[in-house]
Amino acid sequence: MRALAYQANALRLLGDVAGAHEGFAWARKVIAQRGVTDLEIYAEIDRLQASLHLDQRLFDEAEHLLARSAMLYGLLKDRKGSATVLLKLSMLYAYRGDVDLALETDRKVLELVSLADDPQLYLYARFNLAYDLAEAGEIGSARDLLAYDEDLYEEHADETTRINVAWLSGRIALATREYRVAEESLCSARDAYAERGNGFDVACICLDLALLYFQRGQTQELTEVARQAVVLFGKEEVHRDAFAALILLRDAAKAQTLTVTAIEKVARFLKEVRTNPSVRFEPAN
């Protein structure tokens, strides 16, 4: 029965959404017919099916399953299972803009996991906390947390986490007007994601760099980074409005009519479109 849930999840990973939905429905039907009472099976299928809902940006459905899965892992005294599910729940809250709830959930995760037990999961949780602190405007706390864990990231973090640490460090440095550090960190993260072909993240980082260059009055660099955002995003992504917004930003930079408000508006739109692909960009009149 557990195998049925993993088969459904495999279909999800292959992009077969309809097949994944059918697979999870069949797994639940079999579980009900056989009178399964193993809480771990229910916790696993909730966790896996929540990922399918997250892929589809069905946040309410995903939240329900993740909350129930975390409760079941708690009943099983499975601290790692609970922490893994709560970490995903925290990310869901952050995507939705519920920063206070994300922070509360981050701290719950860190009560369940330790560096000794699971270094990578521990650092995922620590990074999430730093990220959400920055999103909440607690820049100093976020910076101190990253600095405190610097050696641990170097020793235990995977490559994706290291890239994200560089990106967050750059954003924090930008917020505190440490421009040299900000540029170095943001360029490092941008180049790393460009090598992976991740156009969406590259575009978002380019907008951070655009804000940096605008604040420093570096017109040539601003024009170039706006151009890069269009080129690199266009290679990988197909969201029409996001691409159009980046083109407008590039053209404004070239014409030297770009404003901070415009940069921030496009940045907010790219963030929103990741959680709601149906949203449309409305250029300023």
For residues 197 and 110, give the distance between their C-alpha atoms in angstroms, rounded to a whole number: 32
For residues 193 and 266, give the distance between their C-alpha atoms in angstroms, rounded to a whole number: 19
Average pLDDT over residues 259-272: 88
For residues 252 and 3, give the distance between their C-alpha atoms in angstroms, rounded to a whole number: 53
**DSSP assigned state of 8:** H
Query: In this structure, are residues 126 and 110 in contact, taking their beta carbons and an 8 Å threshold?
Result: yes
- Min mean pLDDT across 4-13, 106-115, 131-140, 148-157 is at 4-13
SS3 113: coil
User: Please, what sign has the CA dihedral across residues 152, 154, 155, 161?
Assistant: positive
Q: Name which of 57, 46, 40 is nearest 24 in CA terms.
A: 46
Q: What is the CATH architecture of 1-77?
A: Alpha Horseshoe (1.25)
pLDDT band for position 13 (50/70/90)?
Answer: confident
- Tell if the pTM clears 0.75, that is, is over it: yes
pLDDT digits (tens, 9 = 90+) for 115-125: 999 999 999 99
**How do the domains of the chain map onto residue ranges?**
1-77
Amino acid 210: pLDDT: 95
187 Cβ neighbours under 8 A, 6+ residues apart? 209
Alpha helix stretches (DSSP H) within 199-259: 199-216, 219-236, 240-254
